[in-house]
Amino acid sequence: MDKKKYAKIEQGITPPTPILKNVIRAFLTGGTICLIAQFIAVFYMTFFDFTERTASNPTVATMIFLSMLLTGFGLYKRIGQFGGAGGAVPITGFGNAVISAAIEHKSEGYVLGVGGNMFKLAGSVILFGVFSAFLVALIKTILVKLGVVSW
């Protein structure tokens, strides 16, 4: 059987993907996660005298902690199943990825199982995040020294 015939048969068997429904669910899920993060940021600014700029770090840490907690209780999986990319794209997806790998390999022990597998995905995210931040800072420093921009 050639590729064209196979593709035609596969297209006839595969159910259509509800793209609009998936996009709406992802938007609502990601938007809700961001709305919760905004409430947490306002909470930090109101009760702990943070500024808008300084409230971001504890807000991110809180959101990662909440996603890890929800993953541990098995609730974040439901959020991901409903919202798709809407649950994976925000910072909460990072916390979910870290804790999911740790839970999955718990039976192998805490050092080799949890510790060794926890940062398989997260390690590359952290590496590229730090490297990207370094490049942006380097470019900014060069542009400021050349007088192209003033920050």
- Write out pLDDT tens, residues 1-53: 788 888 888 888 888 889 999 999 999 999 999 999 999 999 999 999 899 99
B/e letters for 17-43, b = 16+ CB within 10 Å, e = fewer, are eeeeeeeebbeebbeebbebbeebbee
Q: How far apart are CA 137 and CA 1, in angstroms?
A: 55
Chain segment 68-114, per-residue pLDDT in tens: 899 989 999 999 999 998 988 778 888 888 888 777 777 777 777 77
Domain ranges, ordered by start, for the chain? 17-104
CA distances from 110 to 26, 106, 107 (A): 34, 6, 8
Is pTM beyond 0.95? Reply is no
Q: How many CB atoms lie within 10 A of CB 69?
A: 13
Judged on CB neighbours under 10 Å (0-12, 13-18, 19+), 141 is exposed
